[in-house]
Amino acid sequence: MKLFEYNAHALFGEYGLPALKGFVASSAVEVERAAASGTLRYPLVIKAQVQTGGRGKAGGVKFADNAEQLAAEAGKILGMTINGLVVKKVFVTEKASVAREMYLSIALDRKERCPVIVFCADGGMEINDIADAHPEKIVKIHLRGETEIKPFMVQYLLDKSGLGSEFKEPMARIAAALLKLFFERNAMLVEINPLALLASGEVVCLDGKIDVDDNALYKFEDVRALRDEMETDPLILEARKWDFLYIPVREDGDIAVVSNGSGMLMSSIDLISKNGHVVHSVLDLGGGATAARIQEAVRIVLSAPSVKLLFVNIFGGITRCDEIAKGIEGSWEQVKSKKLVLRLEGTNKEDGAAIVRGLNPDIYLADDLVDGVDRIVKEMAR
C-alpha cells in the first residue's frame, strides 16, 4: 500500500529522520487555522496529496508569502484533478533554501531477493531522466543479509558519487534510520526525494514515499485506517470487515462472482467475458468458507442493483459444500429474485447439493467452470 507524503513525513519524524515542519489539511479553513498557530514561518509550500507524479507541473505545488495567499492557493489546489486523481488534502511545509538536491531510497529488489540502497547525488523531479541518461550516477548497494548500515557502505556511496567527507555523518545517520523504518514497517519502498542540502548546511528530507507490503497491513492499525479512509466504495469497505476481497470490475456488468482464490476469480472473469457477458464484481472469500461467511458474501455482492446473476464457484478439497449451501439457504430471500448458477466441489458435495435442490429443484449445479459458464450464457439469454 502506497502512503501519502504527509504519512511519510510523520514516519520520518517517528524514526528521527530530519524533515521540515509541516501539517496536513483537507480544507482552506483548516489550512488557515493551522497556519494561524504560528508553528510555521513564511514562505510556505502547499503540496497536493495525490499518489501520482508530475503534480508540480500540473499546478499541484504552490507557494505562499502570507496568510491571504496561503488560503487562496490552498483553495485552488483542493478539489483539482491531477492525472485523474482528485486532490482531497494538501500538505503545507516551510519553504527551504536548497543548495543541492539528492536522492536516497531503500527498496525490495525482487530479482535479487534482498533490499537495495539506491543513491544519486542529483535528485529532484528529474531523477528518472538522470537514471536513463546517466545510469552511472545511480549507486546501489544490495543488502544480502545485512540489517544495519555499515561505515564502508556510506563511504562507498560518497566515493562513487564524488561527495565530500562533510556528508558522511548525516548520510550515515539518515541511511541507518531509513533502513530501520524499512524493516520495522515491512516496507517495499522507502524513498527520500529530494534529500536536500540546505543553504544552512543541514541535510533534510524534503519529500518522501513509502510503500508498505499489503501482506503486513494486519500489523499496522494506523495504515489500515488510512487505507479505509482512502477507499470510497462502501462495498469494498463492507467486505474488508469480513476479510473478503471485493473487486468492482465494470459498472455496466450484470454478473457477480463469488469464489475462493484469485485464480478461480480470474478464470471466471476471462471465460465469462469470452462468452460475451460482462462481470460487474467479484468477491474472494479467502479462507474458511462457512455458512455465515457465504451469507455475508452473497449479501454484499447482491447489494449492487445491476447484478442479475450470481455465480458461486467453489472448489476445494476440504471445503464443506453443505456449509456453502447453508449460506445460500440463509440468503435465499435475496437470492431467489436473481438468476443463480452454482459450482460446488469439496467435502460433503452431495449434502450441499441436496440442500440447494431443496430450495429450488431447478437450480443448476455445474460440473466445472466451463459447464458453469455455459449455463450462465443460457440463463442470461432467457
Which residue is catalytic, options 15, 103, 246, 364?
103
> What crossing angle do the helices spanning 291-301 and 234-241 adopt, rounded to 10°?
180
- Contact between residue 224 and residue 125 where contact means Cβ atoms under 8 Å apart: no
DSSP strands (E only) in the chain: 22-25, 44-48, 61-64, 81-82, 85-86, 90-94, 98-109, 114-120, 139-142, 187-198, 203-205, 208-212, 245-248, 255-259, 279-284, 309-320, 339-347, 364-365
- Residue located via cell numbers 459444500: 321
Which residue, 203, 272, 240, 207, is CA-closest to 45?
A: 207
What is the spatial distance between Cα 343 and Cα 319, in angstroms, rounded to a whole number?
Answer: 12
What phi and psi, each to the nearest 5 degrees, are found at residue 289? -80, 75
Residues in a beta bridge with 355: none
User: Is position 156 annotated as part of the catalytic site?
Assistant: no
User: Is position 246 annotated as part of the catalytic site?
Assistant: no
Pairing state between β 187-198 and 203-205? antiparallel
Grid cell, residue 28, equals: 482552506
Which residue is catalytic, options 73, 101, 191, 379?
191
What phi and psi, each to the nearest 5 degrees, are found at residue 125? -65, -25
What is the spatial distance between Cα 33 and Cα 24, in angstroms, rounded to a whole number?
Answer: 11
What is the spatial distance between Cα 289 and Cα 296, in angstroms, rounded to a whole number?
Answer: 11
In Å, how far are 28, 41, 80, 97 from 74, measured between CA atoms?
6, 16, 10, 21
Helices and strands counted in the chain (H then E): 14, 18
In Å, how far are 120, 190, 192 from 106, measured between CA atoms?
12, 5, 9
As a dihedral over the C-alpha atoms of residue 94, residue 98, residue 102, residue 105, rounded to 10 degrees, the angle is -10
What is the spatial distance between Cα 4 and Cα 7, in angstroms, rounded to a whole number?
Answer: 5
* Residues catalogued as catalytic: 103, 191
